[in-house]
């Protein structure tokens, strides 16, 4: 297995980083463009592997609708791509098989597929009920009122909302249960409204009226979730002056909460004309407690931050991390325990909902090797430990291409050595 060795000779974090474009915004814009049928220009589209895959599959779909044979589409390990295309394909004439990696076949899709079937779609499970692969027979949907469980993934809600303007009767969506990652659904609604969709959002009800997206040129802002690993590194460093380019104060992204979270660790965020500037002040912190129900993509960086400085950490609302590219909760537990720390889970029904780190000075043994579990965010959340250890190894480092292809290159640009 491929690996890299990361080392840092000092504890200084200075430089300028051009953060990648937001994958979440890019993917939603690609879907809006495909659904609208207008080829409007998207500037600064994400270079992430997921976005490139979605773009490629959309092209296949747009050129495959007239074929009489079944067209197979492989989403690999991209959950967003699987869920967004499930909704899109019900509007496209033809027969489609939507599949993915072995891990993808273990990730639930039933809430979305069953909801679409209630609206008149034709989606069949080719394997285990509720999971990919899917056989989708596309056509027109009238739309109507529908209730959907929001406790598992906001992507189910987003997938329905994106196509809802093109239902002849629109869609009234009733949200059941405590939603996870709700800022991502709010991002979807704001982008739909930006393109002229008539969407009214209540606390437990979203009404999308039938209509067409109004296309126009658009710019993609940088990715706040990618900034999380730089905030983590800033906590571990002793001297910090780091500029992160492309982030906006008025952001579509919920992960723009990072400045609020990391001020608890002594990290100051200054908004500039180009992005943000991070500096550091001395601040004593004995423990950190947070509910990540709305912000699961930055949870691993914050968990690693607490582990790296040896404070008590309690993180709630992390149940959705179990159905990502890997079981991120168990991945973080396994790797953090290599530092001699104790990590415990709390369970609610069948789901792990809380992860807790007991306070203890972490040990950073020589030859420390971390697994990435095929997961980009796991790899990136462990990399900043090199500031604490001086040197560490990460297995399967190429996984970062999923969301942040230039991550290792950017580490080198601010003084890390990568071998």
Angle, helices 79-89 vs 154-163, to 10°: value is: 30
89: exposed, middle or buried (C-beta count within 10 Å: 0-12, 13-18, 19+)?
Answer: buried
291 is catalytic: no
Nearest residue to 388 (alpha-carbon basis) of 343, 339, 330: 339
Q: Which helix (H) or strand (E) holds 79?
A: helix 79-89
Element spanning 73, H or E: strand 71-74
Contact partners, residue 225, CB within 8 Å, separation at least 6: 22, 24, 253, 255, 297, 298, 403
Q: CB under 8 Å to 409, separation ≥6 — which residues?
A: none
Cβ–Cβ < 8 Å for 140, 98: no
> Contact, 239 vs 11, CB < 8 A?
yes
Among 275, 294, 252, which residue's Cα sits nearest to residue 28?
A: 252
Question: Of 36, 61, 405, 409, which is closest to residue 214 (Cα–Cα)?
Answer: 36
Residues 308 and 166: their CA atoms lie apart, in Å, by 49
Q: Using an 8 Å Cβ cutoff, are 277 and 241 in contact? A: yes
Per DSSP (E only), the strands in 160-231 are 171-176, 199-201, 205-208, 218-219
From 223, 255, 297, 327, the catalytic residue: 297
The size of the chain, in residues, is: 419
Count CA within 13 A, CB hemisphere, residue 168.
6
The single-letter DSSP state of residue 89 is: H
User: Smallest Cα–Cα separation from 266: which of 249, 244, 288, 246?
Assistant: 288
With vertex at residue 71, the alpha carbon angle to CA 65 and CA 73, rounded to the nearest 5 degrees, is: 110
Q: Catalytic positions, please?
A: 297
């Amino acid at each position: 297995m491929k690996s890299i060795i990361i080392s840092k000779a000092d504890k200084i974090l200075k430089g300028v980083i051009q953060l990648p474009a937001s994958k979440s915004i890019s993917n939603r814009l690609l879907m809006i463009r495909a659904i609208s049928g207008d080829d409007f220009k998207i500037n600064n589209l994400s270079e992430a592997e997921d976005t490139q895959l979605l773009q490629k599959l959309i092209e296949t779909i747009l050129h495959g609708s007239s074929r009489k044979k079944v067209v197979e589409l492989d989403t690999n390990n991209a959950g967003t791509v699987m869920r967004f295309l499930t909704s899109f394909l019900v509007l496209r004439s033809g027969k489609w098989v939507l599949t993915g990696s072995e891990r993808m076949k273990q990730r639930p899709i039933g809430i979305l597929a069953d909801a679409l079937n209630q609206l008149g779609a034709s989606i069949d499970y080719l394997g285990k009920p509720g999971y990919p692969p899917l056989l989708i027979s596309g056509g027109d949907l009238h739309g109507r009122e529908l209730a959907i469980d929001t406790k598992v993934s906001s992507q189910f809600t987003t997938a329905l909302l994106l196509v809802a303007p093109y239902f002849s009767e629109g869609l009234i969506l009733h949200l059941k249960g405590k939603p996870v990652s709700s800022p991502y659904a709010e991002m979807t609604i704001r982008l739909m409204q930006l393109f002229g969709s008539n969407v009214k959002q209540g606390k437990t009800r979203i009404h999308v009226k039938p209509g067409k997206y109004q296309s126009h040129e658009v710019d993609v802002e940088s990715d706040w979730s990618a900034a999380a690993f730089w905030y983590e590194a800033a906590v571990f460093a002793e001297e910090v002056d780091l500029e992160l380019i492309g982030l906006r104060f008025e952001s579509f992204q919920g992960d723009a909460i990072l400045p609020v979270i990391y001020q608890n660790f002594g990290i100051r965020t200054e908004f500039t004309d180009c992005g943000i500037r991070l500096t550091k002040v001395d601040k004593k912190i004995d423990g950190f407690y947070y509910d990540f129900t709305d912000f699961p993509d930055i949870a691993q960086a914050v968990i690693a931050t607490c582990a790296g400085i040896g404070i008590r950490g309690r993180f709630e609302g992390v149940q959705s991390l179990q159905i990502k590219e890997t079981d991120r909760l168990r991945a973080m537990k396994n790797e953090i325990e290599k530092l001699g720390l104790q990590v415990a889970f709390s369970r609610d029904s069948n789901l792990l909902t809380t992860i807790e780190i007991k306070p203890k000075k972490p040990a950073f043994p020589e030859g420390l090797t971390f697994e990435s579990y095929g997961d980009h965010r796991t790899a990136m959340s462990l990399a900043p430990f090199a500031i604490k250890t001086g040197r560490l190894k990460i297995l399967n480092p190429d996984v970062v291409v999923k969301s942040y292809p230039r991550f290792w290159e950017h580490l080198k640009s601010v003084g890390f050595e990568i071998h």
